Structure 1
Amino acid sequence: MKIAIPTDDGKTVASHFGRAEYFMIVELEDGKEISRRLSENLHARGHGHHAHHDHHEHHEGYGHGWHHGEHGYGEGHRHGHEEVFASTGDIQAVIAVRIGPHMFEDLKERGIEIYLVQPGTSIDEAISKLTTGALKKIEPRK
């Protein structure tokens, strides 16, 4: 299983999935980590890091953070998510702190599992929690 974890420093899970500077791509086999590599987030580079960071709002209860004022593009625009998926490659899961509603839908459409952690969680801790079953998969509301 390949997992993408957003990170700005290579050590901790970034606060927003699509806007992280990098993705740590971790490969697990039989519950053990077999590889880890850092991949630049082409979407963040193209928009200038932190360009849209001034209007976050985190809602408890649904399981993923919504943020308002998503890029202001019209219907049909994929919010640059193809760049994100080009950065992550073929993955089966993501671990994040916050995922916007459009990215959440794109991940679900692709069959990618979503796991959430608290802000400030280290990548090592996130992987450990995933392999021990401490992280719960986020399911869309029916």
Structure 2
Amino acid sequence: MKIAVVTDNGKTVCQHFGRAQYYLVASIENGSVTGKEQRPKAGHHTAGMSHERNHAAGACHGFNAHSQSIHAGMVSNITDCQLVIAGGMGMGARQSLEQAGIDVHMTDVADIDIALKLYLEGKLPNLTERLH
């Protein structure tokens, strides 16, 4: 199994999938991390996108054609992964990941090593309220 964690520094989970600079991809065997590699990640920073922080009540973002194209680029570098861990993300990004067969887990745990350990123990909180 491979788990991609969105990050800007290789140590902490980025709070927003679209803004993260990198993926830290952890290889898992027999319930343990056996290797890690950092991969570049396309995102709002590479696509010249601004990201609206304020959404109307009940509104979601990331479903227009341009956003879906950007999300496809974000997913292209982790198609060998089965899971993404992020601090949060938009519904359009989650849909793009799920269409690629990649599960999504959103958490408030900041340290990547702790998040991976908790996930492997079945104890990492999945905060779906961080989906917008």
Instruction: Flag whether TM exceeds 0.5 (same fold).
Output: yes
Aligned to 1:112: 102
Aligned partners of 2:53 and 2:22: how far apart in 1?
21
Q: Work out which of the residue numbers 114, 120, 126 in structure 2 matches 1:131.
A: 120
Q: CA offset at residue 79 of structure 1?
A: 4.1
Note closer, same or farther for the CA distance 1:75–1:41 as it changes in structure 2 (3 Å cut): closer
Contact 1:95 1:117 in 2 (8 A): yes
SS in 1 for 2:94: helix
Q: How does 1:15-26 map to 2 (within 5 A)?
A: 15-26=15-26
Aligned to 1:40: 40
Contact 2:75 2:96 in 1 (8 A): no
SS in 2 for 1:80: helix
Aligned to 1:9: 9
Q: CA offset at residue 14 of structure 1?
A: 0.3
SS in 2 for 1:121: coil
Q: 1 or 2, which has the higher helix percentage?
A: 2
**Is residue 2:84 matched to residue 1:94?**
yes
Aligned to 1:28: 28
Structure 2: runs of 5 or more not aligned: none
Contact 2:6 2:86 in 1 (8 A): yes
Contact 2:107 2:127 in 1 (8 A): no
Q: CA offset at residue 7 of structure 1?
A: 0.4
Note closer, same or farther for the CA distance 1:83–1:76 as it changes in structure 2 (3 Å cut): closer
Structure 1: runs of 5 or more not aligned: 60-65
Contact 1:113 1:138 in 2 (8 A): no
TM-score normalized by the length of structure 1: 0.74
SS in 2 for 1:9: coil
Aligned partners of 1:101 and 1:52: how far apart in 2?
16
Aligned residues: 127
TM-score normalized by the length of structure 2: 0.78
Aligned partners of 1:86 and 1:92: how far apart in 2?
13
Percent identity for Structure 1 against Structure 2: 28
Greater alpha carbon shift after TM alignment, 18-27 vs 107-116 = 107-116
SS in 2 for 1:42: coil
SS in 1 for 2:97: helix
